[in-house]
Amino acid sequence: MSRSPQLQEKLLKCKHLGLSAYEEVWREMETFTNERSAETIDEVWLVEHPRVFTLGQAGKDEHILDAGDIPVIKTDRGGQVTYHGPGQLVAYLLFDLRRLGINVRELVSGIETAIISLLAEYKIEAQAKKEAPGVYVGERKIAALGLRIRHGCSYHGLSLNIDMDTAPYKRINPCGYADMEIVQLRDLAVKNSMDEVCEDFLSHIQRQFGYTSLIHLIH
């Protein structure tokens, strides 16, 4: 049986969720992943979260130095502890890896490459590190990754620091590394708005993973 024309076109749907609570979006991702079929079109969800620390599946409490008034949520993604807050772009990638013909390592590498290409567009030289997933400007981390794969499909994704309060990072060992420095686009003299960065990011993700068309949805 041949695939539908839609799937042959390799469509990607994008949901813009605005400012939304972390746990609510996480549960929606789980439901989407559990209920999707081989015919389900892949999606990317773009969101900002209210202030929250999230601890990955193998995350160690010792990397949370002083949570204070910021809630801590233990989640099922990979990785250690990170921080989310307004002014940070969080992108959740709900991809069927089998249909894309890639493995988890290629997914991670593709995400990093897309972010590095995005930053190059802004005249920022960035790189990935084999031993510590994410994207770095020098030794400073600008984007973090944390994924979960279920039934060959991904959920969770990445965060990219744009114009946020980075002080809460000092309350944790970001991604399990003590004294890791954090940087954001604002620090690097990039003044693009959140909406502009979102559009640029989507074009790089679409190109990196070979999606032919992008459909925007309002949540």
Does 100 have pLDDT greater than 60?
Answer: yes
33-57: b or e for each residue (b if 16 or more CB lie within 10 Å)? beebeeebbbbbbbbbbeebbbbbe
Please name the helix (run of DSSP H) or strand (run of DSSP E) that holds residue 145, with its range, or none: strand 140-150
Nearest by Cα to 196 from 163, 173, 170, 168: 163
Does 210 have pLDDT greater than 90?
Answer: yes
- Relative to beta strand 72-74, strand 52-55 is parallel
pLDDT tens by residue, 5-43 = 444 689 999 999 999 999 999 999 999 999 999 999 999
Binned at pLDDT 50, 70 and 90, residue 130 comes out as confident
Mean of the pLDDT values across residues 41-53?
98
Cα-to-chain-centroid distance, residue 147:
8
- The pLDDT, as a whole number, for residue 219 is 59
Structure tokens at 70: 């910021």
42 DSSP β-pair partners:
12
Binned at pLDDT 50, 70 and 90, residue 179 comes out as confident
Nearest by Cα to 165 from 22, 51, 17, 47: 51
pLDDT tens by residue, 180-190 = 999 999 999 99
Does 81 have pLDDT greater than 90?
Answer: yes
Does 1 have pLDDT greater than 70?
Answer: no
Does 85 have pLDDT greater than 90?
Answer: yes
Domains of the chain, each with CATH number or no CATH: 5-218 (3.30.930.10)
| More confident call, 1 vs 169 | 169
Binned at pLDDT 50, 70 and 90, residue 2 comes out as very low
Does 218 have pLDDT greater than 90?
Answer: no
Cα-to-chain-centroid distance, residue 33:
16
If DSSP codes are grouped into helix, strand and coil, which group holds residue 184? Answer: coil
Mean of the pLDDT values across residues 45-71?
96
Does 59 have pLDDT greater than 70?
Answer: yes
CA dihedral 193, 195, 200, 206 (to 10 degrees): 160
Cite the active site residues. 175
